[in-house]
């Protein structure tokens, strides 16, 4: 039986990986490991279809090590023993262990000494947060790297490669795909390359060639194979981003009806992921400190929708959208962190004051790490002391807004602290 397209065109060297250039690009950490042949075991975590298996395959191919794949949930300790025996006979083996968060203690105990000796280079793959769901024993012996959803450009690059690859791809089928169908394919899979390639292959193999032997893929073909409807047939493929943008701007502008309309477009297209992700962004970017409870309710609604799926998931999301629209608004949080980041990115900061530096080691006093005043030892749990570096000691990043009761209370406290600092400075 022929393996799926996504499997067949997996990269065999680092240079062929699409996306994740912060890890595998020239001079980046995994690229350096491969070139130096100083591989360490690692955990790759992120959404499905973002290249975790491709990275493992490319590492093995670039280093010429044997490559084996197992699943922590379904494969047995005996399967691990077979990989270990191969490593003893042939040298290092790169083992991709999928769903590593489901590794039980028996298998873990068997693996640990093999990781220590370097016989097995473990590449764990998981969609779960490894800092929560993977045991400390495994984490301490691995590097942890996060992978991100691929951009539409990354997916388009891989799709075009699949269409022209005559050995492992679809190059022998003479496939021609309409521009709007390609745009929909690369934009609507939410950074999941496997999903895009599966839909492409199904479309190509289920569409009859024309009289000239050309398999002509249209937008309706891709819609049918993705089981999603295009938001509109705009030739530039911008409809998805325009709808998401209109949704956020409608909520920011407190227009309930417009927000529900744009959310409905995403729901009708089957794009639950884009809708839920954007609602969480809106909750903290646009409502923020004016109504933190609304942000928390939105997270709960998103979690409920993810568990329910569509169509029932529309119900908690509708409640959240109405709640966010009619809530007081504040963008003071995002503005504050962006102001602080601007200083850091431009190098506009100095050394941490000595009294704030770590003192949990011998010799701290000799380095001048003294003078810290513990606020809980003072009235109202506050005492005047400098926290920012000298160079930016008077910086004020947070500018409160007064659109909600909660942030008004924060603003009052912020003003009291600022006034106390000013008064202390005059003494």
Query: pLDDT band at 1, cuts 50/70/90?
Result: low
Checking if the pLDDT of 223 tops 90, the result is no
> What one-character DSSP code corresponds to residue 93?
E
The structural domains of the chain, ordered by start, are 5-146 (3.40.50.300), 152-226 (1.10.8.60), 239-326 (1.20.272.10), 351-426 (1.10.3710.10)
Q: Determine the pLDDT at residue 231.
A: 59
Residue 81, classified by CB atoms within 10 Å of its CB into exposed (0-12), middle (13-18) or buried (19+), is exposed
**Cβ–Cβ under 8 Å, residues 319 and 361:** no
Please enumerate, as own/partner, the contacts of 32-36 that have beta carbons within 8 Å and a separation of 24 or more.
33/59, 34/59, 34/62, 34/63
Q: Determine the pLDDT at residue 235.
A: 43
Q: Determine the pLDDT at residue 234.
A: 46
> What one-character DSSP code corresponds to residue 390?
G
pLDDT digits (tens, 9 = 90+) for 142-157: 999 999 888 889 999 9
Q: Determine the pLDDT at residue 228.
A: 73
Write out the two tokens for 368: 């001048």
State the average pLDDT over residues 357-380. 87
């Amino acid at each position: 039986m022929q393996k799926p397209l996504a499997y067949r065109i997996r990269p065999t060297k680092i240079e062929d990986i699409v996306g994740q250039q912060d890890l595998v690009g020239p001079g980046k950490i995994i690229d350096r490991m491969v070139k130096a042949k100083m591989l360490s075991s690692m955990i790759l975590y992120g959404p499905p279809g973002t290249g975790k298996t491709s990275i493992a395959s490319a590492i093995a191919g670039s280093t010429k090590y044997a490559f084996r794949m197992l699943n922590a949930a379904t494969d047995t300790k005996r399967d691990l023993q077979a990989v270990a025996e191969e490593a003893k006979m042939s040298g290092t083996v790169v083992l991709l262990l999928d769903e590593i968060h489901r590794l039980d203690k028996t298998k873990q105990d068997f693996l640990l000494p093999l990781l220590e000796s370097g016989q097995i280079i473990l590449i764990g793959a998981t969609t779960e947060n490894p800092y929560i769901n993977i045991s400390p024993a495994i984490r301490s012996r691995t590097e942890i790297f996060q992978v991100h959803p691929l951009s539409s450009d990354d997916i388009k690059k891989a799709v075009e490669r699949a269409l022209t690859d005559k050995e492992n791809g679809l190059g022998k089928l003479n496939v021609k795909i309409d521009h709007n169908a390609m745009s929909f394919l690369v934009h609507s899979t939410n950074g999941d390359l496997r999903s895009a390639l599966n839909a492409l292959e199904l479309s190509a193999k289920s569409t009859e060639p024309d009289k000239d032997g050309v398999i002509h893929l249209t937008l309706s073909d891709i819609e049918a194979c993705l089981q999603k409807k295009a938001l509109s047939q705009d030739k530039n493929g911008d409809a998805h981003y325009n709808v998401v943008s209109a949704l956020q701007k409608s909520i920011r502008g407190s227009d309930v009806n417009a927000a529900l309309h744009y959310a409905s477009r995403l729901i009708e297209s089957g794009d639950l992921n884009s809708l839920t992700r954007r609602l969480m962004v809106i909750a903290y970017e646009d409502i923020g400190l004016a109504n933190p409870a609304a942000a928390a309710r939105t997270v709960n609604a998103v979690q409920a929708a993810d568990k329910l799926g569509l169509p029932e998931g529309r119900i908690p999301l509708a409640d959240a959208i109405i709640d966010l629209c009619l809530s007081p608004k504040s963008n003071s949080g995002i503005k504050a962190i962006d102001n602080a980041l601007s200083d850091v990115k431009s190098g506009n900061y100095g050394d941490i004051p000595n009294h704030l530096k770590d003192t949990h080691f011998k010799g701290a006093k000799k380095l001048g790490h003294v003078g810290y005043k513990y606020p809980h030892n003072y009235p109202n749990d506050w005492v005047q002391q400098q926290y920012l570096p000298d160079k930016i000691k008077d910086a004020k990043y947070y500018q409160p807004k007064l659109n909600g009761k909660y942030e008004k209370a924060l603003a009052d406290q912020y003003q009291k602290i600022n006034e106390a600092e000013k008064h202390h400075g005059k003494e």
